Chains A and B, each alone.
Chain A
């Protein structure tokens, strides 16, 4: 069979809902797209732990400190699971680290921003994790089986995070006028990064990830799902969203929203976000500080009988 024939057969398998295992034959384009996507996901989990981590020492109570600490540990754990899966697609973890800290690979735009108040921790925990969960739920139907199995576990942990984030948010929204204001301010600042998180409206027929079933929903479908779940919840507790054009069109069954502008998004994607270099420096410092452990693993002498 020629490469083209095998590729056609593979595509037919995917279209029929069949799942791909790491040991299966796959076209180069499938392998590359899956690796790139999962690597970016892994990068985002580990980089996403950093903005929240900054608030562990400043958490207002011991309980909040413990729960935030546990959540950050979960996010780092997700990165470990995902890097392992990416490695099986043919790229070493060292290379993935090197590409990340040198700006050759990406991580999600929302983790390039500063966290200015405890309100930001609430918004990240509820709305950004909520946005992530909307996209991650859609990945449970992915064509790459090892990814689906990882996502099952990750989604279960993420729904815990969502409750944690909603709990934090309600506490602030229900608190003193200053706490409420702090939460509203955080929503206002994070709204356009959240809109950017879903990506610009894209052409689904040109999306290689949709073509191969690695992703199963378009940017726009996911954004609409996010609005439907979270906007009414915010409005109901008297928290507004800084998009004057945002409204639900019952006749069309969809949300109309205002274009947040994409220049800032592209700048961030290029690695020029307000905190990009600081966070990458942190990532590098952690990696360097733990070099001794990798050395021990690599050179561990065998036990003498």
Chain B
């Protein structure tokens, strides 16, 4: 009996996620058991199985991306950008240097 690792995605837009494993003698039985074990409440839109021996793992050393400051690779590296823009907007307004012109409601902006 082989161990089969089971993967599924919640909706078609989602990535494939590992949901568990089943033991089964062949592929058809593995798919059947996987479906019954992990997807009978409609948890996902599809189901994949692969034999455990066909999965190969690499563990990520702690130093990868952490040894030196690499915050510029992550959004938190620019966490205060909204406040920076606001501060500058106020300074420019106080100096009367803002470009005049009607603005649409801010709620319609899409970069929030």
Contact = CB atoms under 8 A, between A and B. Distances in A.
A166 to B, nearest CB: 5
A145 B12 contact: yes
Contacts of A228: 104, 108-110
A255 B104 CA distance: 9
Given A225-B110, A238-B99, A152 B13 contact: yes
Contacts of B92: 236-238
Overall SS of chain A's interface: helix
Contact of B102 (A21, A70, A174, A250): A250
A170 B101 contact: no
Interface of A: 19, 21, 63, 66-67, 70, 130, 133-134, 137, 140, 145, 148-149, 152, 159-160, 162-164, 166-167, 170, 173-174, 225, 228-230, 232-241, 246-250, 253, 255
Contacts of B89: 236-237
Interface stretch (B19-27, B30-38, B77-85): B77-85
A236 B84 CA distance: 12
B57 interface: no
A185 B93 CA distance: 21
Given A238-B97, A238-B99, 5 more contacts: A162-B111, A163-B75, A170-B88, A173-B88, A248-B103
Interface of B: 12-15, 70, 72-75, 77-78, 81, 84-85, 88-89, 92-93, 95, 97-104, 106, 108-111
A229 B109 CA distance: 4
Contact of A149 (B14, B88, B99): B14
Contacts of A133: 111
B12 A137 contact: no
Given A149-B14, A248-B101, A250-B104, A237 B88 contact: yes
